[in-house]
Amino acid sequence: MKCIVANWKMNLTIRESLALARGTLRVLQGSDVVPNVILCPSFTSLSEVRKALSRTRMHVGAQDVGPDKSGAYTGAVSVTQLEDAGCAYVLLGHSERRTLFHEDDTLIADKIKAVLASSLTPIVCVGETREVHQAGKTEAYVAEQLTRLFTGVTVPKRRQIMVAYEPVWAVGTGECPEPADVVRVHRVLKQTLRSVTGALDEHLQILYGGSVTASNAYSFLREPEIDGVLVGGASLKIHDIHAIIAAAQDVLVAQG
């Protein structure tokens, strides 16, 4: 299976989100080859988008969640509230959450625990800065990041975990690593996740994110080690997201 996660970030009104969700859906209509497409709108649009996708094969995800169950946490949203809104997935530790909102690995690990105790599937983002990349230390850096996030976290049997490898220098910049470099990092991430959590390969998916476009999506998706892509900017443009989903369909057809 290949997975496409559309991270709409802080964009679109409810009406615009619905239009984009319905437009995105059109590419799957009448097709037997269906990648796992997850749309992540803003909190305000979640339930409406979920309603628009009911009885379809697309899912809804949130862009973040608070670590606490309920209570006096002004501005926060809990996993229970996301479940109530019909979410099946949630992004955690996106680089924008880390840099703009000062989230650290301890907080993100608490969020992972909260999500694993719910029905939601976590999509945990990791990735190196430009300095680490230039120093050639990417693999060690992301392995340590993932180890910090999952050490001491009990992963229930058969629980799906998604990790998105998103180099910070590639998010929103138009710059990307080569697919072969991504494959190497994905191998390290899967190996790390397997040994830290004890989870089986069939429950782990590693996605790539960072300047994925209609023209480069296929080159990532065709790699067996790349289980999908996390798309920001291009997911807001209907032609681009159609082309990215179509690229996943082409790969699935080619793989039989």
Q: Catalytic amino acids?
A: 94, 166
Tokens of 241: 């997201």
Least Cβ distance, residue 256 to ligand PGA (angstroms): 29
115 or 199: whose CB is closer to ligand PGA?
Answer: 115
What is Dmax (Cα atoms) for the chain?
A: 51
Least Cβ distance, residue 122 to ligand PGA (angstroms): 15
Residue of 81, 107, 129, 233 interacting with ligand PGA (CB under 6 A): 233
The residue type of 83 is E
Distance CA 191, CA 89 (A): 23
Tokens of 41: 């709108």
In the shown chain, the binding pattern of residues 70 to 99 toward ligand PGA, with x for contact by CB under 6 A and - for none, equals: ------------------------------
Residue of 212, 217, 241, 246 interacting with ligand PGA (CB under 6 A): 212
Q: In the window 23-62, what residues touch ligand PGA (CB under 6 A)?
A: none
93 or 209: whose CB is closer to ligand PGA?
Answer: 209
**Helix axes 14-25 and 46-53, enclosed angle (nearest 10):** 30
Residue of minimal CB distance from ligand PGA?
232
In the chain, DSSP assigns E strands to 3-7, 36-40, 59-62, 89-92, 121-126, 161-165, 204-209, 228-231
Residue of 2, 3, 4, 7 interacting with ligand PGA (CB under 6 A): 7
Least Cβ distance, residue 166 to ligand PGA (angstroms): 6
Q: Assess contact for 94 and 63: CB atoms under 8 A.
A: yes
Distance CA 246, CA 249 (A): 5
Whose CA is closest to 58, among 88, 85, 83?
A: 88
Residue of 35, 167, 209, 228 interacting with ligand PGA (CB under 6 A): 209
Binding site for ligand PGA (CB under 6 A): 7, 166, 171-172, 209-212, 230-234
